[in-house]
Amino acid sequence: MTNILITGVGGQGIVLASKLIAGTAMKKNIPVMSAETIGMAQKGGSVQSYLRLGKGAYSAMFPRGSADLLLAFEPGEAVRMLPWLKKNGTAVVNTHAIMPTTASLSGASYSGEEMIAYLKERVENLILVDGDAACRALGSPRALNMVLLGAAVSSGALPFTVDEVDEVMRVSVREAFRDLNSRALRYQ
């Protein structure tokens, strides 16, 4: 059984990343279940997608300490959900912080650097991705989810290859985004 927790802020493209992991698993005849935050929480809030690949579980909502992979689209959200990561689990984390509206109002500073420092101290298998730089290099802010998914797959934390994910992506998204997504999945 492989447990995956994807986390970030509403609107970052987490749902598509989750769908592609599920779709690729299905294609390889691996049973899959998932659970997502939908509704009021989506509006600028923290969002999560839980995925379980393989047999033997009843609920997609796995407990703390059992994620093999934590795929975080935002460093503060990575820290928030870190208790879900297994010891020796892999964390793939975007270093670009998203400032919440509340921080702007209170004048509190939040840069994400303190989050990265905290993660570095605690996570052995930590893969940091500068999502902002990647999107600039690829020429689109929409590429972020594929860049992070590509990094997660390349880390070996998922039971499939980038080519297998790519194949599923190409039949799941509109033609206009296919080539950008293919390049993003392979961005290193």
Partner 1 sequence: MHTEFLMGNAAIARGAIASGLNLIAGYPGTPSTEVLETAAKSRPDGLYVEWSVNEKAALELAAGASYAGARTMVTMKQVGLNVASDPLMSLAYIGVKGGMVILVADDPGPISSQTEQDTRTFAAYSKLPCFDPSTVQEAYEMIQDAYAYSEKYHTPVLFRPTTRICHAYASIEVKDEAEFAVNTPEGFVKDSTKWVIFPKLSRNAHEMIAKREPVLSADFSGYSKNRIADSSGLPSRNLALASHGASFAYTMDALSLLDAEGISQAKCLEVLKISTPYPFPEELGLKFLQAHDEVLCIEELDPVIERELTYIAGKHHLNVTIRGKLTGDVTPAGENSTESVAEAIRKLLSGAGDSALSAASAATGNDNPPALPVRPPVLCAGCPHRASFYAVKQAMKGKKAVFCGDIGCYTLGNAMPLDMVDTCLCMGAGLNIAQGINRIEPDTTAFAFVGDSTFFASAITGVVNAVYNQAEMVLVVLDNSTTAMTGHQPHPGTGRTMMGEIVAKIDIESVLRGIGVKTVETVNPLELSAAVETVKRVAKEPGVKAVIFRSPCAVLVKPEKPAVIDPEKCINCKRCVRELGCPGLVISEGKVQIESALCTGCMLCSQVCPTQAIGKGGQKE
Q: Site residues (CB under 8 A) for partner 1?
A: 9, 11, 22-23, 25-26, 31-46, 56-66, 76, 79-80, 82-87, 89, 98-105, 107, 110, 114-115, 118, 122-123, 141
- Minimum distance of partner 1 from residue 33's CB (angstroms): 4
Nearer to partner 1, 58 or 175 (CB): 58
Rounded to whole angstroms, the Cα distance separating 141 from 38 reads 22
Nearer to partner 1, 66 or 186 (CB): 66
Name the β-bridge partners of 93: 72, 128
Residue 74: name the closest of 40, 99, 53, 43 by CA.
Answer: 99
Residue 36: in which H helix or E strand, if any? strand 32-36
- Minimum distance of partner 1 from residue 105's CB (angstroms): 6
- Minimum distance of partner 1 from residue 148's CB (angstroms): 16
Rounded to whole angstroms, the Cα distance separating 185 from 169 reads 10
Which tokens belong to 179? 């080539």
- Minimum distance of partner 1 from residue 106's CB (angstroms): 9
Nearer to partner 1, 91 or 151 (CB): 91
Nearer to partner 1, 105 or 176 (CB): 105
**What is the Cα Rg of the chain in Å?**
16
Rounded to whole angstroms, the Cα distance separating 69 from 51 reads 10
Q: Which amino acid is at 37?
A: T
Nearer to partner 1, 25 or 184 (CB): 25
The DSSP result for 120-138, as a single string, is HHH-SEEEEE-HHHHHHHH
- Minimum distance of partner 1 from residue 34's CB (angstroms): 4
Nearer to partner 1, 104 or 161 (CB): 104
Rounded to whole angstroms, the Cα distance separating 47 from 26 reads 24
- Minimum distance of partner 1 from residue 124's CB (angstroms): 9
